[in-house]
Amino acid sequence: MHINRYYITLLFLILFSATGKTQTKSAYGLFTDRDVYVSGEPLLAKIYLPEEVPSRIVCLDLVNQYGTRITGASLAIHNKEAEGYLQLPDSLSTGTYLVRIYQKYNAGKLKTIHEIFVTNRFDKPEKLDKIKIATSLSILKDQQTDLIQITGLQPSYSIKSKIEAGVQLDDSILKKVEGRLLVSVAQVYPTYVPITFSDQGEQKKEEMIEKRGVIITGIVSDRKTSMPAGGITVYLTIPDSIPGFQYYITRKDGRFYFLLDKYTGATQSVLQCLGNSPGQLLDFKLDEGFAESGKLPEFQLQSFPLDFKEALTRNISTVTFQKVFSQNYLKLVTTPQKSIKGHPYYGKASQSVDPRLFLDFANFSEISKELLRGVKFKNSNNELSLRVFNSSANEYFDESPLTLIDGIPIRDLKIIANLGTADIERIDVCQSERIFGNLRFPGVVAIYTTKKDISRIAESSQIVRKNLNGIQQSYLWAEPRITIATVPDLRQLLYWDSSAVPAKSISVQCNTSSVLGHYKLIVRGRLKDGTLIFSEKYFEVK
């Protein structure tokens, strides 16, 4: 298989030269910790951006051979670099997948794509006869340099032994290096040689640049006419003790935009749209947060080498035992959310009540009657109504107040009707008109529940409950602390430093694991002219 790949690559390079094409330095540099994985494992990635870009976010995702997106993340850019990870789902079937890197605003123009192979941990690789490999005319090749030397690395090591190596940078290249280096030690497979390639095309439509955070977009349409609905108010709420809240009034094209800049990782959210009249029926659709599949490479069937089959079988056993021994080498760094200081968006409450400090009331009608002065909650012929006393006018508002449950605006009062003392942590009441932007609220009743269960809000064509993905949380990678001699160390990634400071001499110290096979120490970096460079050295664990 290795020989076949060599000739395919050679043929493409000849064709490349014949057509006058050369590798562009405008491509993203995309490097993963390994090329072969088992479903359920994490994939680590380091990204070098080719130039200064207006966006502060780069997208990392995984698609299958047909372009179907499986998972993805938005990574923060720092000094033209980014790093992050993807958690490969347990459900992935065995086969070739594509890891992509791009930015939303120009995803149609430029992507870098790297091929990986994933084995489902419940499959039996020995039954596989063929493997699909990607082919592309736009193969990206980094420049190997002898100005970075790897020293002290032995040809072979025993299991659970100490590696003490060094990286030496010549003065001439040290002056040219820009940013941080990537230094890693991981298992490799000599007969599997994946490709990295560039996908460059035309941008179908202009996208917004994510300068401050992830931009959430979508469209509202009128169900009766199927036409975009302008002038519709769309709410985005992030439930919390001080809820996050934004609104947007759709343009003529029915589109809306929200900025998710105060939250990292998956953020529980509720989006809803409100018609201009009670009878107006709307359809509400969020845009896909990642790029379309674009042009996919051709795939060719190749024979499945016997040694690769055997290695995959060992990998499955390794990952299975990792789960048995709970050996997890990634730790998420808890990033403090940007706290919303002061009062919620509806302002300071006229009164705030904790019903748990009083008698045990069975429902909200009893709570409002006994504990909430200036609040009338009535049930007349199964028609629920809620009114708040306007302290400025010395009379009740004629309209229903802004009613919130865990910060989420609701119109269906049945949602709160059966909430009793044990269900409610706090109730805020505002007995005056409140203004938020150009929204006017005739009083506010904000209920904060003990369980924070947004499933009370039923989804519909106008209400969507969704985990919105902000910028990915940072992570730490570390060797495990295994104190029991009989417990195996099951890492295939022995060392990962994605932010190594360039220096004349860099120390690389780690331990081999209990996993036998071929390994590689590799150093990657970027020069000031955009050239991606590397130096590597192989060894074996016996």
Instruction: For residue 217, give both structure tokens.
Output: 């977009």
Question: Which of the four pLDDT bands, split at 50, 70 and 90, describes residue 334?
Answer: low
pLDDT in tens, 211-267: 989 999 999 999 999 999 999 999 999 987 788 999 999 999 999 999 998 888 888
Q: Amino acid identity of 126? A: E
Q: Identify which has the larger pLDDT, 122 or 503.
A: 503
Buried b (16+ CB within 10 A) or exposed e, 121-151: bebebeeeeebebbbbebbbebeebeebebe
- Identify residue 188 by its one-letter amino acid code: V
Higher pLDDT, 525 or 22: 525
Q: pLDDT per residue over 436-455, tens digit each?
A: 999 999 999 999 999 988 88
Buried b (16+ CB within 10 A) or exposed e, 155-170: eebeeeeebebebbbe
Task: Return the pLDDT at 25.
Answer: 54
Q: 142-162: per-residue pLDDT in tens?
A: 999 999 999 999 999 999 999
What is the model's pLDDT at position 22? 36
Question: For the segment 511-533, what is each residue's pLDDT rounded down to a tens digit?
Answer: 999 999 999 999 999 999 999 99
Phi and psi of 364, rounded to 5°? -70, -25
Closest CA to 88 of 34, 30, 31, 29: 34
pLDDT band with cut points at 50, 70 and 90 for residue 335: low
Question: How far, rounded to the nearest angstrom, does the alpha carbon of residue 278 sit from its chain's CA centroid?
Answer: 37
What's this model's pTM, rounded to 2 decimal places?
Answer: 0.87
Q: What is the average pLDDT value for the chain, to the nearest integer?
A: 88
pLDDT at 189: 92
Residue 8: pLDDT over 50:
no
Show the beta-strand stretches assigned E in 2-41. 29-32, 36-38
Closest CA to 398 of 385, 416, 379: 385
Give the range among 70-79, 233-242, 355-364, 384-393 with minimum mean pLDDT: 233-242
Instruction: State pLDDT tens for residues 403-420.
Output: 999 999 999 999 999 999
